[in-house]
Structure 1
Amino acid sequence: MIIRFRRMFYIRTLIVIGFFALGLSACKTDSKKEAASSDTDLIQVHVSSENLDDSLFACKSAQEVQSFLNKHSYLSDWYFTDAPVEKPQLAAHLFQILQNKDFRAFKMQLDLIIGDRNASIINPLKKSFQQIARYYPDFKAPEVKFMVTGFSGNDLYISDSLIVIGLDYFGGPKARFRPDVYGYQLRRYQKEYIVPSIIFFMSNKYNHVNASDRTLLADMIGYGKGYEFVKQVMPDTPDSLILGYSEESLIRTYNSQQDIWSFFVSNKLLYENMDLKKQKFIGERPFTTEIGNEVPGGIGRWLGWRIVSRYMAENPEVSLPQLMKNDNAGNLLQASGYKGEKDDEE
Structure 2
Amino acid sequence: MLSIVLLLCISCKTEINNIDVSNIKINVNVERFEQKFYNSNLETLQMLKKEFPYLFPAKNSDSIWLNKINNVEERELFKKSQLVFGDFEAEKSEIKSLFQHIKYYHPNFKSPKIITLITDLDYESSVIYADSLLFVSIDMYLGKNDEVYQSFPAYISQNFEKSQMVVDIAKKISDNYFYEPKKRQFLDIIIYEGKKMYLIDSYLPDISDANKMGYLPKEIEWAEMNETQVWKYFVENELLYSSDSKLSTRFIEKAPFSKFFIDIDKESPGRIGVWLGWQIVRSYMKNNNVTLQQLLQTNAEEIFKKSKYKPTK
TM bin (shorter chain): 0.7 to 0.9
Q: Give the length in aligned residue pairs.
A: 299
1:299 deviates by: 1.0
Q: Separation in 1 of the partners of 2:228 and 2:122? A: 44
In the alignment, does 2:303 pair up with 1:323?
no
Given candidates 215, 235, 247, the residue that maps to 1:245 is: 215
Encode CA deviations 1:299-321: one digit per residue, 9 max, x unaligned: 11111101011111212x22222
Q: Is the 8 A contact 2:181 2:192 kept in 1?
A: no
Q: Give the gaps of 5 or more residues in structure 2.
A: 1-10
Q: Report which structure shows greater RCO (CA 8 Å, sep ≥6).
A: 1
Give me the whole-angstrom Cα distance separating, in 2, the residues matched to 1:65 and 1:275.
48
User: Given the alignment of the two structures, is residue 126 of structure 1 paired with residue 96 of structure 2, yes or no?
Assistant: yes
Residues 256-309 of structure 1 deviation map (CA, whole Å, 9 limit, x = unaligned): 010000000111111121223332111121111325221111111111101011
Instruction: Answer yes or no: is 1:183 the counterpart of 2:154.
Output: yes
Amino acid of the residue matched to residue 193 of structure 2? Y
Whole-angstrom CA distance in 2 between matches of 1:191 and 1:225:
25
Match of 2:33 among 52, 65, 87: 52
The answer (yes or no) to whether the contact 1:33–1:313 under 8 Å persists in 2 is no
In the other structure, the counterpart of 1:73 is 53
Matches within 5 A, 1:99-138: 99-119=70-90, 121-138=91-108
Q: Secondary structure at the match of 2:128?
A: strand
Q: Which residue of 2 aligns with 1:160?
A: 131
Where does residue 192 of structure 2 map in the other structure? Answer: 222
Q: Is the 2:127–2:172 Cα contact (8 Å) retained in structure 1?
A: no
Contact 2:21 2:104 in 1 (8 A): no
In terms of mean alpha carbon deviation, does 233-242 or 278-287 score higher? 278-287
Match of 1:188, SS state, is coil
Q: Is the 1:206–1:325 Cα contact (8 Å) retained in structure 2? A: no
Change over 3 Å in CA distance of 1:113–1:249 after alignment to 2 = same
Query: Is residue 221–residue 329 contact of structure 1 (8 Å, CA) maintained in 2?
Result: yes
Give the letter for the 2:284 counterpart.
Y
Superposed displacement of residue 170, structure 1 = 1.0
Aligned counterparts, 1:204-283, within 5 A: 204-211=175-182, 213-283=183-253
C-alpha contact 1:151 1:168 (8 A) present in aligned 2: yes
Q: Residue type of the partner of 1:318? A: V
Deviation at 1:66, TM superposition (A): 6.3
Structure 2 Cα separation of the partners of residues 209 and 103 of structure 1: 37
Q: Are the counterparts in 1 of residues 114 and 133 from structure 2 also a CA contact under 8 Å?
A: yes
Q: 1:101 to 1:293 in 2, by over 3 A?
A: closer
* Counterpart amino acid of residue 278 in structure 1: S
SS in structure 2 opposite 1:157?
strand
* Contact 1:207–1:225 under 8 Å retained in 2: no
- What whole-Å deviation, never above 9, does each CA across 1:36-62 have from its counterpart, x for those lacking one? 42354x31111211111111012223x
One-letter amino acid matched to 1:37? I
- Corresponding letter in the other structure for 2:266: N
1:303 to 268, 276, 299: 276
**Matched letter for residue 49 of structure 1:** V
Separation (CA, whole Å) in 1 of partners of 2:163 and 2:49: 29
- TM-score (ref. length: structure 2): 0.87
Q: How far did residue 335 of structure 1 move?
A: 0.9
Distance change in 2, residues 1:302/1:91 (3 Å): farther
Match of 2:20 among 31, 34, 38: 38
C-alpha change, 1:179 and 1:195, in structure 2 (3 Å) is farther
Between stretches 93-102 and 128-137, larger displacement belongs to: 93-102
Cα deviation digits, residues 171-197 of structure 1 (max 9, x gap): 113535238532210011111111111
Could you tell me how far 1:165 is from its partner in structure 2? 0.6
Preserved contact between residue 36 and residue 233 of structure 1 (Cα < 8 Å): no
Q: Given the alignment of the two structures, is residue 88 of structure 1 paired with residue 68 of structure 2, yes or no?
A: no
